[in-house]
């Protein structure tokens, strides 16, 4: 067996720490946004809270992918994190519905850039045989941020004002930026930034090599858009005061499974892990649909977190497996385009189906479970890919 070098380097863990702070920053405000938008008079636009965010993230992906392949991974990560800081400071200033919706659109550019650069950076410094495991660890830190952010944000909002939450989110992004300044660039052949790099031809928008895992991801994360949009209101409906609690539970439940899923996919292939992931997603949506108590809702959060913890690092590793080195940024950008599209479509459709009527909660979550079932059907007919991975070892 060939020796595989360790990827446990200082730069790897600095990147992971920066990811933790980045995800903490923009997730800190999410549980409070539906009520905040309602206080501005925009209760009919709750579906746009996530949809606009994911729309701009999706639109920016082809550019972030190309720039990551041309000017470097770190500048792309830096830009996204700076957006988090600036927009966080503007929320307390633009206190009207159209201004808020504009900021949600602008805020999406942060996730359109930073995760693309970060995933490409990890793929650059990690050997093939450890790719799933490394993606699992990196996503673990991101998940810790996603768990800490809503929980801390909900706690701050319960003691101080929503504006305090916005300011805390902005300054959390500052610490992420400071860490990125310490990292060494991994792109060997860099080009200077120029306007020509912002011109895209049709071949630079989507990387066809990674369409299959990207489509499966779209169907899987539809449920994520539903959860982000509807769970705050559903939590309130069930009498749960801290609307970030479900987010904390599902994120914490995803932590350990990410490491197991990543290592398992390295050994047995990506497809078999994703099959299990979408089954868990279907179960989670059905349990939420029939939840009538706090305990049942939070139990469904454990199932949901397990699903997210399995499909997140496994899909990223599968996309990197299928991509060419020189188009790695484009491949990852394609994956994120489908990810944001799935979340955005899930947010819009769930907001439309819900229509601020508690009687529609069950319909929303069962529809989401149906999308996960479609992902399972596709995966069911894909031949197991263990031999593909074993042949590289």
Q: Given a cut of 90, is residue 376 above it in pLDDT?
A: yes
Q: Given a cut of 50, is residue 4 above it in pLDDT?
A: no
For residues 259, 262, 266 and 267, what is the CA-based torsion angle, rounded to 10 degrees?
60
Q: Report the half-sphere exposure of 280 (CA within 13 A, side-chain side).
A: 24
Report DSSP letters for 59-118, one per residue: HHHHHHHHHHHHT-HHHHHHHHHHHHHHHHHHTTT--SHHHHHHHHHHHHHHHHHHHHHH
Q: How far apart are CA 131 and CA 76, in angstroms?
A: 21
pLDDT of residue 373: 94
**pLDDT class of 393 with cuts at 50, 70, 90:** very low
Report DSSP letters for 2-69, one per residue: --------HHHHHHHHHHHHHHHHHHTTGGGHHHHHHHTT-GGGTHHHHHHHHHHHHHHHHHHHHHHH
Total count of residues recorded for the chain:
393
Predicted confidence (pLDDT) per residue in 151-179, tens digit: 788 788 888 888 898 999 998 999 999 99
Average pLDDT, the chain: 83
pTM check: above 0.85: no
pLDDT of residue 153: 85
User: Are 61 and 336 spatial neighbours (Cβ–Cβ below 8 Å)?
Assistant: yes
| Least confident window among 270-274, 283-287, 388-392 | 388-392
Selected residue with higher pLDDT from 147 and 85: 85
Q: How far apart are CA 43 and CA 97, in angstroms?
A: 10
pLDDT of residue 277: 92
pLDDT of residue 3: 37
pLDDT of residue 286: 93
Q: Given a cut of 90, is residue 287 above it in pLDDT?
A: yes
Predicted confidence (pLDDT) per residue in 307-316, tens digit: 988 988 888 8
pLDDT of residue 1: 36
Q: Given a cut of 60, is residue 54 above it in pLDDT?
A: yes
DSSP state of 182: T
Residue with tokens 């190309």: 66
How crowded is residue 107: how many other Cβ atoms within 10 Å of its Cβ? Answer: 25
Q: Given a cut of 90, is residue 279 above it in pLDDT?
A: yes
């Amino acid at each position: 067996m060939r020796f595989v070098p360790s990827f446990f380097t200082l730069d790897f863990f600095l990147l992971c720490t920066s990811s933790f702070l980045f995800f903490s920053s923009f997730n800190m405000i999410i549980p409070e946004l539906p009520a905040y938008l309602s206080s501005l008079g925009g209760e009919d636009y709750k579906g746009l809270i996530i949809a606009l965010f994911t729309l701009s993230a999706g639109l920016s992906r082809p550019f972030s992918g190309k720039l990551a392949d041309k000017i470097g991974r770190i500048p792309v990560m830096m830009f996204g994190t700076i957006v988090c800081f600036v927009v966080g400071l503007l929320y307390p200033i633009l206190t009207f519905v159209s201004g808020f919706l504009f900021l949600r659109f602008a805020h999406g550019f942060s996730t359109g850039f930073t995760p693309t650069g970060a995933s490409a950076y990890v793929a650059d410094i990690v050997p093939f045989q450890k790719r799933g495991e490394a993606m699992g660890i990196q996503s673990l830190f991101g998940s810790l941020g996603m768990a800490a952010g809503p929980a801390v944000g909900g706690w701050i909002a319960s003691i101080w004002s929503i504006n305090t939450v916005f300011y805390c989110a902005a300054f959390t992004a500052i610490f992420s930026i400071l860490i990125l300044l310490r990292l060494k660039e991994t792109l060997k052949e860099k080009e200077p930034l120029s306007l020509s790099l912002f011109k895209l031809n049709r071949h630079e928008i989507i990387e066809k090599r990674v369409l299959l895992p990207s489509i499966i991801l779209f169907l899987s994360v539809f449920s994520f858009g539903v959860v982000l949009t509807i769970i705050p209101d559903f939590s309130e409906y069930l009498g749960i005061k801290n609307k970030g609690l479900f987010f904390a539970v599902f994120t914490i439940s995803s932590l350990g499974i990410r490491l197991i899923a990543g290592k398992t996919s390295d050994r047995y292939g990506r497809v078999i892990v994703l099959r299990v992931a979408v089954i868990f997603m279907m179960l989670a949506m059905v349990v939420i649909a029939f939840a009538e108590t706090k305990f049942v809702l939070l139990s469904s959060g454990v199932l949901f977190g397990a699903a997210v913890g399995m499909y997140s690092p496994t899909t990223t590793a599968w996309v990197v497996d299928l991509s060419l080195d020189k188009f790695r940024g484009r491949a990852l950008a394609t994956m994120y385009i489908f990810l944001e599209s799935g979340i955005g479509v899930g947010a819009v459709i769930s907001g439309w189906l819900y229509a601020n009527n508690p009687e529609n909660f069950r319909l929303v979550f069962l529809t989401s479970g149906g999308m996960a079932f479609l992902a399972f059907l596709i995966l069911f007919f894909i031949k197991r890919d263990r031999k593909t991975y074993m042949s590289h070892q």
